[in-house]
A and B are shown apart, each in its own frame.
Chain A
Protein backbone atom coordinates (compact mmCIF):
# COMPACT_ATOMS: atom_id res chain seq x y z
CA UNK A 1 0.00 0.00 0.00
CA UNK A 2 1.01 3.57 -0.53
CA UNK A 3 1.76 5.63 2.52
CA UNK A 4 -1.67 7.12 2.15
CA UNK A 5 -4.92 5.31 2.47
CA UNK A 6 -6.73 5.09 -0.73
CA UNK A 7 -9.93 7.01 -0.60
CA UNK A 8 -11.70 4.84 -3.12
CA UNK A 9 -10.87 1.61 -1.34
CA UNK A 10 -11.96 3.14 1.90
CA UNK A 11 -15.22 4.33 0.44
CA UNK A 12 -16.05 0.91 -1.01
CA UNK A 13 -15.17 -0.97 2.12
CA UNK A 14 -16.98 1.56 4.34
CA UNK A 15 -20.07 1.27 2.22
CA UNK A 16 -19.86 -2.47 2.45
CA UNK A 17 -19.60 -2.26 6.24
CA UNK A 18 -22.44 0.11 6.78
CA UNK A 19 -24.60 -1.62 4.22
CA UNK A 20 -23.97 -4.94 5.83
CA UNK A 21 -24.79 -3.54 9.24
CA UNK A 22 -28.02 -2.07 7.97
CA UNK A 23 -28.81 -5.28 6.19
CA UNK A 24 -28.24 -7.20 9.37
CA UNK A 25 -30.63 -4.98 11.21
CA UNK A 26 -33.39 -4.99 8.67
CA UNK A 27 -33.20 -8.65 7.76
CA UNK A 28 -36.30 -10.53 8.74
CA UNK A 29 -34.76 -13.91 8.54
CA UNK A 30 -32.27 -14.51 11.33
CA UNK A 31 -30.08 -16.66 9.13
CA UNK A 32 -29.91 -13.82 6.64
CA UNK A 33 -28.94 -11.52 9.46
CA UNK A 34 -26.13 -13.85 10.44
CA UNK A 35 -24.82 -13.81 6.91
CA UNK A 36 -24.92 -10.04 6.80
CA UNK A 37 -22.79 -10.02 9.95
CA UNK A 38 -20.38 -12.31 8.22
CA UNK A 39 -20.19 -9.83 5.39
CA UNK A 40 -19.50 -6.98 7.81
CA UNK A 41 -16.64 -8.91 9.38
CA UNK A 42 -15.09 -9.58 6.04
CA UNK A 43 -15.43 -5.94 5.05
CA UNK A 44 -13.84 -4.80 8.29
CA UNK A 45 -11.02 -7.26 7.75
CA UNK A 46 -10.52 -5.49 4.46
CA UNK A 47 -10.35 -2.19 6.30
CA UNK A 48 -7.69 -3.60 8.60
CA UNK A 49 -5.68 -4.59 5.59
CA UNK A 50 -6.05 -1.05 4.30
CA UNK A 51 -4.52 0.12 7.59
CA UNK A 52 -1.48 -2.16 7.25
CA UNK A 53 -2.72 -4.32 10.19
CA UNK A 54 -2.19 -7.69 8.52
CA UNK A 55 -2.13 -9.82 11.61
CA UNK A 56 -5.26 -8.26 13.05
CA UNK A 57 -7.05 -8.72 9.74
CA UNK A 58 -6.21 -12.43 9.65
CA UNK A 59 -7.23 -12.88 13.28
CA UNK A 60 -10.45 -11.03 12.61
CA UNK A 61 -11.19 -13.35 9.72
CA UNK A 62 -10.35 -16.48 11.66
CA UNK A 63 -12.18 -15.56 14.79
CA UNK A 64 -15.15 -13.67 13.56
CA UNK A 65 -15.76 -14.67 10.05
CA UNK A 66 -15.18 -18.34 10.66
CA UNK A 67 -15.76 -19.27 14.26
CA UNK A 68 -18.23 -16.70 15.41
CA UNK A 69 -20.35 -16.78 12.36
CA UNK A 70 -20.51 -20.56 12.36
CA UNK A 71 -21.36 -20.51 16.05
CA UNK A 72 -24.18 -18.10 15.37
CA UNK A 73 -25.61 -20.20 12.59
CA UNK A 74 -25.45 -23.33 14.60
CA UNK A 75 -27.21 -21.76 17.58
CA UNK A 76 -29.87 -20.37 15.37
CA UNK A 77 -30.46 -23.77 13.95
CA UNK A 78 -30.65 -25.39 17.35
CA UNK A 79 -33.04 -22.84 18.78
CA UNK A 80 -35.45 -22.92 15.93
CA UNK A 81 -38.43 -25.20 16.27
CA UNK A 82 -39.58 -24.81 12.77
CA UNK A 83 -37.98 -23.30 9.74
CA UNK A 84 -40.79 -20.83 9.57
CA UNK A 85 -39.75 -19.37 12.95
CA UNK A 86 -36.58 -18.01 11.39
CA UNK A 87 -38.63 -15.22 9.90
CA UNK A 88 -39.59 -12.73 12.46
CA UNK A 89 -40.97 -9.20 12.52
CA UNK A 90 -38.53 -6.39 12.28
CA UNK A 91 -38.58 -5.25 15.91
CA UNK A 92 -38.53 -1.52 15.54
CA UNK A 93 -38.15 0.63 18.64
CA UNK A 94 -38.48 4.36 18.37
CA UNK A 95 -36.78 4.94 21.69
CA UNK A 96 -33.75 2.93 20.70
CA UNK A 97 -33.62 4.63 17.32
CA UNK A 98 -33.83 8.06 18.91
CA UNK A 99 -31.18 7.29 21.44
CA UNK A 100 -28.83 5.78 18.89
CA UNK A 101 -29.29 8.68 16.53
CA UNK A 102 -28.54 11.20 19.22
CA UNK A 103 -25.53 9.20 20.26
CA UNK A 104 -24.25 8.99 16.71
CA UNK A 105 -24.88 12.63 16.04
CA UNK A 106 -23.05 13.75 19.10
CA UNK A 107 -20.10 11.46 18.36
CA UNK A 108 -19.84 12.75 14.81
CA UNK A 109 -20.13 16.31 15.96
CA UNK A 110 -17.35 15.77 18.46
CA UNK A 111 -15.16 14.23 15.85
CA UNK A 112 -15.82 17.20 13.65
CA UNK A 113 -15.33 19.77 16.32
CA UNK A 114 -12.09 18.43 17.75
CA UNK A 115 -9.77 17.54 14.94
CA UNK A 116 -6.67 15.62 15.93
CA UNK A 117 -3.30 16.62 14.71
CA UNK A 118 -2.26 13.57 12.82
CA UNK A 119 -5.46 13.48 10.85
CA UNK A 120 -4.26 13.54 7.31
CA UNK A 121 -0.75 12.25 7.46
CA UNK A 122 -0.23 8.62 7.36
CA UNK A 123 2.94 7.92 9.29
CA UNK A 124 5.68 6.43 7.30
CA UNK A 125 6.48 3.62 9.61
CA UNK A 126 4.06 0.75 9.12
CA UNK A 127 3.39 -1.97 11.65
CA UNK A 128 5.39 -5.13 11.08
CA UNK A 129 4.14 -8.61 11.92
CA UNK A 130 7.49 -9.81 13.10
CA UNK A 131 7.84 -6.84 15.40
CA UNK A 132 4.35 -7.45 16.60
CA UNK A 133 5.16 -11.06 17.39
CA UNK A 134 8.25 -10.06 19.27
CA UNK A 135 6.37 -7.52 21.32
CA UNK A 136 3.58 -9.98 21.94
CA UNK A 137 5.78 -12.56 23.57
CA UNK A 138 8.31 -10.37 25.31
CA UNK A 139 8.23 -10.05 29.07
CA UNK A 140 8.11 -6.27 29.03
CA UNK A 141 5.57 -6.52 26.26
CA UNK A 142 2.33 -8.33 26.15
CA UNK A 143 3.11 -11.80 27.42
CA UNK A 144 1.21 -11.44 30.65
CA UNK A 145 -1.99 -10.25 29.00
CA UNK A 146 -1.43 -13.10 26.52
CA UNK A 147 -1.42 -15.67 29.31
CA UNK A 148 -4.42 -14.10 30.93
CA UNK A 149 -6.21 -14.13 27.64
CA UNK A 150 -5.65 -17.84 27.31
CA UNK A 151 -6.97 -18.26 30.83
CA UNK A 152 -10.07 -16.36 29.90
CA UNK A 153 -10.60 -18.54 26.93
CA UNK A 154 -10.24 -21.66 28.99
CA UNK A 155 -12.71 -20.37 31.53
CA UNK A 156 -15.15 -19.45 28.84
CA UNK A 157 -14.79 -22.87 27.31
CA UNK A 158 -15.42 -24.64 30.56
CA UNK A 159 -18.30 -22.36 31.31
CA UNK A 160 -19.91 -22.86 27.98
CA UNK A 161 -19.59 -26.61 28.19
CA UNK A 162 -21.05 -26.67 31.68
CA UNK A 163 -23.88 -24.49 30.78
CA UNK A 164 -24.98 -26.36 27.81
CA UNK A 165 -24.68 -29.75 29.37
CA UNK A 166 -27.67 -32.01 29.38
CA UNK A 167 -28.99 -33.35 32.71
CA UNK A 168 -29.47 -31.99 36.24
CA UNK A 169 -25.99 -31.27 37.37
Chain B
Protein backbone atom coordinates (compact mmCIF):
# COMPACT_ATOMS: atom_id res chain seq x y z
CA UNK B 1 0.00 0.00 0.00
CA UNK B 2 1.33 3.33 -0.92
CA UNK B 3 1.05 6.17 1.59
CA UNK B 4 0.91 9.63 0.11
CA UNK B 5 1.49 12.91 1.83
CA UNK B 6 -1.95 13.17 3.21
CA UNK B 7 -1.71 10.61 5.98
CA UNK B 8 1.39 12.38 7.28
CA UNK B 9 -0.45 15.68 7.24
CA UNK B 10 -3.41 14.17 8.96
CA UNK B 11 -1.22 12.61 11.57
CA UNK B 12 0.43 15.93 12.14
CA UNK B 13 -2.96 17.62 12.45
CA UNK B 14 -4.09 15.09 15.05
CA UNK B 15 -0.88 15.37 17.01
CA UNK B 16 -1.10 19.13 16.87
CA UNK B 17 -4.67 19.11 18.17
CA UNK B 18 -3.70 16.80 20.97
CA UNK B 19 -0.86 19.06 21.90
CA UNK B 20 -3.19 22.03 21.68
CA UNK B 21 -5.61 20.37 24.07
CA UNK B 22 -2.84 19.76 26.53
CA UNK B 23 -1.51 23.31 26.25
CA UNK B 24 -4.92 24.68 26.99
CA UNK B 25 -5.95 22.47 29.81
CA UNK B 26 -2.93 21.34 31.79
CA UNK B 27 -2.28 23.10 35.02
CA UNK B 28 1.26 22.05 35.77
CA UNK B 29 3.68 24.23 33.87
CA UNK B 30 5.91 21.31 32.93
CA UNK B 31 2.97 19.55 31.37
CA UNK B 32 2.20 22.73 29.47
CA UNK B 33 5.68 22.77 28.07
CA UNK B 34 5.46 19.13 27.17
CA UNK B 35 2.30 19.79 25.20
CA UNK B 36 4.03 22.61 23.40
CA UNK B 37 6.79 20.18 22.47
CA UNK B 38 4.21 17.82 21.12
CA UNK B 39 2.87 20.57 18.87
CA UNK B 40 6.38 21.27 17.74
CA UNK B 41 6.91 17.64 16.85
CA UNK B 42 3.70 17.65 14.86
CA UNK B 43 4.89 20.68 12.91
CA UNK B 44 8.21 18.97 12.19
CA UNK B 45 6.44 15.96 10.82
CA UNK B 46 4.44 18.22 8.58
CA UNK B 47 7.49 20.01 7.33
CA UNK B 48 9.53 16.92 6.65
CA UNK B 49 6.66 15.16 4.93
CA UNK B 50 5.93 18.09 2.65
CA UNK B 51 9.60 18.58 1.92
CA UNK B 52 9.96 14.96 0.90
CA UNK B 53 6.96 15.05 -1.38
CA UNK B 54 7.11 18.58 -2.79
CA UNK B 55 10.71 19.73 -2.80
CA UNK B 56 12.93 16.71 -2.46
CA UNK B 57 15.78 18.39 -4.30
CA UNK B 58 16.18 21.60 -2.40
CA UNK B 59 15.25 20.05 0.94
CA UNK B 60 13.84 23.30 2.23
CA UNK B 61 11.44 21.65 4.58
CA UNK B 62 14.32 19.75 6.18
CA UNK B 63 16.22 22.90 6.92
CA UNK B 64 13.09 24.52 8.25
CA UNK B 65 12.58 21.55 10.53
CA UNK B 66 16.18 21.71 11.76
CA UNK B 67 15.96 25.34 12.61
CA UNK B 68 12.61 24.98 14.31
CA UNK B 69 14.15 22.25 16.36
CA UNK B 70 16.93 24.60 17.35
CA UNK B 71 14.51 27.31 18.34
CA UNK B 72 12.26 25.03 20.23
CA UNK B 73 15.23 23.61 22.09
CA UNK B 74 16.19 27.09 23.15
CA UNK B 75 12.64 27.77 24.06
CA UNK B 76 12.30 24.66 26.16
CA UNK B 77 15.52 25.45 27.94
CA UNK B 78 14.31 28.89 28.83
CA UNK B 79 10.87 27.62 29.69
CA UNK B 80 12.19 25.13 32.13
CA UNK B 81 14.43 27.77 33.64
CA UNK B 82 11.30 29.85 34.03
CA UNK B 83 9.59 26.97 35.78
CA UNK B 84 12.48 26.73 38.22
CA UNK B 85 12.42 30.49 38.87
CA UNK B 86 8.71 30.47 39.47
CA UNK B 87 9.07 27.47 41.73
CA UNK B 88 11.64 29.33 43.78
CA UNK B 89 9.36 32.32 44.12
CA UNK B 90 5.99 30.72 44.68
CA UNK B 91 6.95 27.22 45.99
CA UNK B 92 4.72 25.82 43.27
CA UNK B 93 4.76 25.74 39.53
CA UNK B 94 1.12 25.66 38.76
CA UNK B 95 -0.14 27.90 36.00
CA UNK B 96 -3.23 28.82 37.93
CA UNK B 97 -1.15 30.71 40.43
CA UNK B 98 0.38 33.01 37.86
CA UNK B 99 -2.45 35.52 37.80
CA UNK B 100 -0.72 38.86 38.08
CA UNK B 101 -2.19 39.90 34.78
CA UNK B 102 -5.66 39.56 36.23
CA UNK B 103 -7.78 42.56 35.42
Contact = CB atoms under 8 A, between A and B. Distances in A.
Contacts, number: 224
Interface in B1-40: 1-11, 13-22, 24-28, 30-31, 33-35, 37-38
Interface string B50-74: 0111101111001101110111011
Interface string A114-128: 011011111101110
B98 interface: no
Given A51-B48, A59-B66, A67-B73, A108 B56 contact: no
Interface residues of A, number: 83
Contacts of B52: 51-53, 122-123, 127
Interface string A48-80: 100111011001100110011001100110110
B53 A118 contact: yes
A93 B26 CA distance: 8
Dominant SS among interface residues on chain B: helix
Contacts of B9: 111
A40 B3 CA distance: 20
B18 A156 contact: no
Interface of A: 4-8, 10, 14, 17-18, 21-22, 24-25, 30, 33-34, 37, 40-41, 44, 47-48, 51-53, 55-56, 59-60, 63-64, 67-68, 71-72, 75-76, 78-79, 81, 88, 91-93, 95-97, 99-101, 103-104, 107-108, 111, 115-116, 118-123, 125-127, 131-132, 135-136, 142, 145, 149, 152-153, 155-157, 159-161, 163-164
Given A18-B14, A24-B22, 9 more contacts: A21-B15, A40-B41, A60-B44, A111-B6, A118-B54, A120-B4, A127-B51, A153-B74, A161-B81
